[in-house]
């Protein structure tokens, strides 16, 4: 059998080997884990965590995968070593309570020696300090002898996906690359940090679950999780020095060389800056392309920040190599070319990846341009090796959007430090300020009072999913100043806290209910009546804010709490429509769309989501139609409670970064949207009536907003549009359906008319020319005679005077003297011009203009054949006077 050499061949041989051992080949899971405790998928076992924990039943007892992984814990050293990558593929084999240590060990040996053909004499194994069983199995199942089976403690041979969760002792396989790769340490052996002994396969014996106190409890089943770094194995098989020299990576490095016009030497010396930069660009391009393909968009938090940081880091290293234009799209395109065949999601999202990379890079280059020059100035003002103030780093972050890790990096490169403590203080102060500015003063002062009330009575029971009016008891009253009081009198504002409430307090983007809280007899116009104008949640309490309209309300009184049902109905239609909108957006625009915020009120809804460009009219139309179809389908809307873990398995959408309780409420609309939601919704989709999008706009980088209306508001919206259309139709004397055709015809005819007018204008000026010529003055001199047009043409500017001269000359004039007011500036303008015949007979344009200039207190002059000039604005009468004088002179032949 030929040995697999390329990354693609190694990947395939691994999967096929374990398939032969009865494992099911499963596709790689997304880089976005279905697990709120993890930011990104960083190991092959991540998708199987619930199975290892016994929370989910496995569908098959054995599986094998090539899992895409992103790890950025050691981002700072990526590029400076040959082993670290932010993106890598992990070849994994898994047993879910099926085979255990013996098979895992025997098969790793079999694959290494028989499929990869690794020399058994170069292989070493390690086991966990106390794991005698594993050590013995290595001896039983393989030719390895005790001296080639090393024991290490927890740091090296105990594996866990995170601080909590499934874990267990592990056993690792090492390959000895030979003395050429060794360091100078005399005791260089397995476990040494140098490049000689490469750890290439980790066999984890999943035996325990670690809780938050660090306590280990045995897992229901003993399982196996093994992981082999594909790139590391490719480097061994291809006998190249580092991960960056393997077939796949080398092609990316080659493109980076081309883009940056540099050469890669493969050096890892501390000053090999070009090589380091090329490695960073090549590595980060893969993470960027894969993260976007899985729906991550650049942002300032969570995994969006990981993506942004990787992309920006690559761009900056490109700049260090002298590239000032955007280039990362070329790199990610290459990643797609090289890896799209195995990872189809890259091909499916080629355009999305290109669009996001281009937009983000452009934005960052802009930030860099401004930020870098600010930073350069700030550093230049420091003594050599000085410390940049926290205020300056904060200014860079806050005003220029310049990431602080970049400030730290650039400062360090120049031998400067940054006052990070002070920077953090500035950040904290800003957060404090932000908190202060968003809080509504009338609510902010209430803190302690509410906490006391909840201590005394517990949280309010919300009964309002299906009940809109109920009898309750007033537990506590808070006045306008935030103080606990016994009673609220007529016209006083304040808050009532009840034991039960049908009022939904504003949360999750849904507006709070309004309504009334009244004492017995209120319906007869007696008894107390408190109008609720807003409802909020605080410390678990439902707070009804409003004013006493009649009588007075005291603590411990029995009351009837009733919401404004009409308004609630409008709100819930909008809320259910918001879920459908989210679903439709992901369907039409792509699964990278995630909710970034929403507002659901009674008159409209607003939905903010992640996306990098304006939605096309076609996309909007498609979304609107899809929604209205689902409304017309009269789908059942079902809410049910389940555990958070279960909801994730049902594929329910949860908002990233939100903290959910163990029990969650799932809102399901037919077989379309499934989301976690505590809000109030319609019973069937048809209650929404109608859905219309009223606006789509950008609300920040990679963030868009859709505003929409439903039911009666949608009807009003459409009606208003229709009324406007009817008004236009009436004016046009057309039926509404013909308006478009009629307007098109009108526009065309208006265009024609304009053209005709232009022609008519030309004809009119021709007429003018003839009139002018009729009134021309003929001057006779001893040298001949000439005909001069002396006129004050209207509606002209200085530039037009020559044209007037051209037309009178063509019509037979020998000379002209034109004096008029510029139609635009009202200034006085004049021009004199003559043919050769006229100048030969004694006409001198320059002199004519000089005379006019003298008479108008203006300036001007020129040659005998052409002269012009100008003066300030003159009274029209004075202009005519001067013109008459000129005419008189001409007639007199002077
Ligand atoms: N989970 C282990 C690792 O990531 C083996 O797959 O190393």
Alpha helices, DSSP H, located in 91-163: 101-110, 132-141, 154-157
CA of residue 357 to ligand 1 center, whole Å: 30
Please choose from 23, 33, 38, 44 the residue to mutate so as to test ligand 1's pocket, defined by most ligand atoms within 8 A of CB: 44
- The DSSP code sequence of 633-665 is TT-BEEEEEEEHHHHHHTT-B--TT----SEEE
Hey, whose CA ends up nearest to atom 4 of ligand 1? 43
Hey, whose CA ends up nearest to atom 5 of ligand 1? 227
| HSE of 739, CA atoms in CB hemisphere, 13 A | 13
Residue 865: what pLDDT? 94
Neighbours of 617 (CB within 10 A): 9
496-515 pLDDT, tens digit each: 999 889 999 998 889 999 99
254-301 pLDDT, tens digit each: 999 999 999 999 999 888 999 999 999 999 999 999 999 988 888 877
Hey, whose CA ends up nearest to atom 3 of ligand 1? 227
Q: What mean pLDDT, rounded, does the chain reach? A: 89
**pLDDT confidence of 522, banded at 50, 70, 90?**
low
Among 99, 93, 128, 125, CA closest to 216:
128
Residue 689: what pLDDT? 96
* pLDDT at residue 445 is higher than 80: no
Of 735 and 230, the one with more pLDDT: 230
Measured in whole angstroms, the distance separating CA 215 from the mean position of its chain's CA atoms is 41
101-134 pLDDT, tens digit each: 999 999 999 999 999 999 999 999 999 999 999 9
CA of residue 114 to ligand 1 center, whole Å: 23
**pLDDT confidence of 53, banded at 50, 70, 90?**
confident
Judge contact between 317 and 95, C-beta under 8 A.
no
- Axis-axis angle for helices 350-380, 273-293 (nearest 10): 140
CA of residue 63 to ligand 1 center, whole Å: 14
**pLDDT confidence of 447, banded at 50, 70, 90?**
very low
CA of residue 547 to ligand 1 center, whole Å: 62
Ligand 1 atom nearest to 161, measured from its CA: 1
CA of residue 186 to ligand 1 center, whole Å: 30
Rg over CA atoms, the chain: 41
CA of residue 436 to ligand 1 center, whole Å: 45
CA of residue 170 to ligand 1 center, whole Å: 9
Ligand 1 atom nearest to 227, measured from its CA: 6
Please choose from 14, 41, 43 the residue to mutate so as to test ligand 1's pocket, defined by most ligand atoms within 8 A of CB: 43
CA of residue 184 to ligand 1 center, whole Å: 30
CA of residue 204 to ligand 1 center, whole Å: 7
Please choose from 18, 29, 45 the residue to mutate so as to test ligand 1's pocket, defined by most ligand atoms within 8 A of CB: 45
Neighbours of 350 (CB within 10 A): 16
Name every protein residue with a CB atom under 6 angstroms from any ligand 1 atom: 43-45, 92, 159, 202, 204, 225-227
* pLDDT at residue 567 is higher than 90: yes
Q: What is the dihedral of CA 284, 290, 296, 300, to 10 degrees?
A: 0
- Cα 460 to Cα 478: distance, rounded to the nearest angstrom: 15
Please choose from 204, 205, 224 the residue to mutate so as to test ligand 1's pocket, defined by most ligand atoms within 8 A of CB: 204
Hey, whose CA ends up nearest to atom 6 of ligand 1? 227
């Amino acid at each position: 059998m030929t040995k697999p050499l390329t990354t693609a061949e190694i990947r395939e041989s691994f999967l096929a080997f374990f398939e032969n051992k009865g494992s099911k080949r499963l596709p790689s899971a997304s880089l976005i884990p279905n697990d709120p405790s993890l930011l990104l998928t960083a190991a092959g076992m991540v998708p199987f965590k619930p199975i290892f924990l016994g929370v989910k039943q496995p569908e098959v007892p054995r599986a094998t995968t090539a899992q895409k992984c992103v790890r950025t814990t050691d981002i700072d050293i990526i590029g400076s070593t040959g082993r670290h990558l932010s993106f890598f593929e992990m070849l994994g084999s898994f047993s879910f309570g099926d085979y255990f240590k013996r098979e895992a060990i025997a098969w790793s040996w079999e694959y290494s020696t028989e499929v990869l053909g690794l020399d058994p004499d170069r292989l070493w194994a390690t086991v966990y300090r106390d794991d005698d069983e594993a050590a013995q199995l290595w001896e039983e199942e393989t030719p390895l002898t005790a001296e080639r089976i090393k024991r290490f403690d927890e740091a090296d041979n105990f594996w866990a996906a995170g601080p909590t969760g499934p874990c267990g002792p592990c056993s690792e396989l090492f390959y000895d690359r030979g003395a050429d790769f060794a360091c100078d340490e005399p005791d260089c052996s397995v476990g040494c940090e140098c490049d000689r002994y490469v750890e290439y396969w980790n066999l984890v014996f999943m035996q325990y679950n670690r809780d938050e106190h660090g306590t280990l409890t045995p897992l229901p089943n003993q399982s196996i999780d093994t992981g082999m770094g594909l790139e590391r194995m490719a480097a061994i098989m291809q006998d190249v020095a580092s991960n960056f020299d393997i077939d796949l990576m080398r092609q990316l490095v080659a493109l980076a060389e081309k883009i940056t016009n540099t050469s890669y030497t493969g050096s890892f010396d501390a000053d090999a800056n070009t090589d380091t930069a090329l490695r960073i660009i090549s590595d980060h391009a893969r993470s960027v392309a894969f993260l976007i393909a899985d729906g991550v968009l650049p942002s300032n938090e969570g995994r969006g920040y990981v993506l942004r940081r990787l992309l920006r880091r690559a761009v900056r290293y490109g700049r260090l190599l002298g590239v000032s234009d955007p280039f990362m799209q070329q790199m990610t395109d290459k990643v797609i070319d090289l890896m799209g065949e195995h990872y189809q999601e890259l091909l499916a999202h080629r355009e999305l990846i290109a669009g996001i990379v281009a937009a983000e890079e452009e934005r960052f280059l802009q930030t860099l341009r401004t930020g870098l020059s600010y930073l350069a100035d700030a550093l230049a003002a420091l003594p050599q090796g000085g410390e940049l103030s926290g205020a300056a780093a904060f200014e860079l972050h806050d005003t220029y959007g310049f990431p602080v890790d970049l400030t730290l990096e650039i400062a360090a490169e120049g031998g400067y430090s940054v006052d990070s403590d002070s920077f953090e203080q500035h950040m904290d102060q800003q957060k404090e300020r932000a908190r202060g500015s968003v809080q509504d003063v009338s609510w902010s002062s209430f803190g302690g009072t509410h906490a006391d009330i909840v201590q005394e009575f517990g949280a309010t029971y919300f009964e309002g999913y299906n009940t809109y009016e109920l009898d309750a008891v007033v537990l506590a009253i808070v006045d306008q100043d935030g103080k606990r009081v016994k009673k609220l009198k007529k016209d006083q504002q304040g808050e009532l806290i009840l034991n039960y409430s049908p009022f939904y307090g504003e949360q999750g983007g849904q507006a709070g209910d309004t309504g009334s809280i009244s004492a017995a007899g209120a319906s007869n116009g007696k008894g107390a009546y408190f109008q609720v104008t807003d409802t909020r949640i605080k410390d678990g309490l439902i707070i009804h804010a409003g004013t006493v309209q009649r009588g007075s309300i005291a603590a411990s009184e029995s009351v009837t709490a009733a919401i404004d049902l009409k308004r609630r109905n409008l709100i819930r239609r909008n809320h259910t429509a918001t879920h459908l909108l989210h679903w439709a957006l992901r369907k039409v625009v792509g699964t990278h769309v995630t909710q970034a915020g929403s507002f659901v009120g009674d008159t409209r809804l607003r939905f903010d989501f992640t996306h990098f460009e304006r939605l096309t009219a076609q996309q909007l139309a498609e979304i609107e139609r899809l929604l209205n179809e689902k409304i017309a389908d009269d789908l059942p809307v079902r809410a049910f409670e389940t555990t958070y873990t279960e909801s994730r398995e049902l594929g329910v959408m949860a908002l990233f970064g939100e903290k959910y309780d163990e029990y969650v409420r799932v809102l399901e609309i037919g077989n379309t949207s499934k989301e976690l939601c505590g809000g109030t919704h319609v019973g069937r989709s048809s209650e929404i009536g109608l859905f219309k999008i009223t606006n789509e706009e950008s609300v920040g980088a990679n963030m868009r907003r859709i505003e929409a209306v439903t039911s009666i508001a949608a009807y009003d919206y459409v009606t208003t549009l229709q009324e406007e259309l009817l008004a236009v139709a009436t004016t046009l004397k057309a039926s509404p359906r013909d308006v478009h055709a009629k307007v098109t015809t009108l526009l065309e005819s208006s265009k024609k008319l304009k053209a005709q007018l232009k022609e008519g204008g030309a004809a009119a000026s021709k007429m003018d020319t003839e009139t002018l010529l009729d009134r021309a003055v003929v001057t006779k001199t001893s040298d001949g005679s000439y005909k001069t047009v002396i006129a004050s043409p209207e509606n002209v500017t200085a530039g037009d005077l020559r044209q007037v001269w051209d037309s009178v000359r063509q019509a037979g004039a020998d000379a002209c003297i034109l004096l008029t007011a510029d139609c635009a500036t009202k200034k006085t303008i004049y021009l004199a011009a003559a043919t050769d015949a006229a100048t030969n007979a004694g006409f001198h344009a320059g002199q004519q203009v000089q005379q006019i200039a003298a008479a108008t207190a203006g300036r001007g002059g020129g040659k005998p054949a052409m002269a012009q000039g100008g003066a300030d604005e003159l009274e029209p009468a004075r202009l005519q006077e001067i013109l008459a004088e000129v005419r008189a002179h001409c007639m007199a032949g002077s």
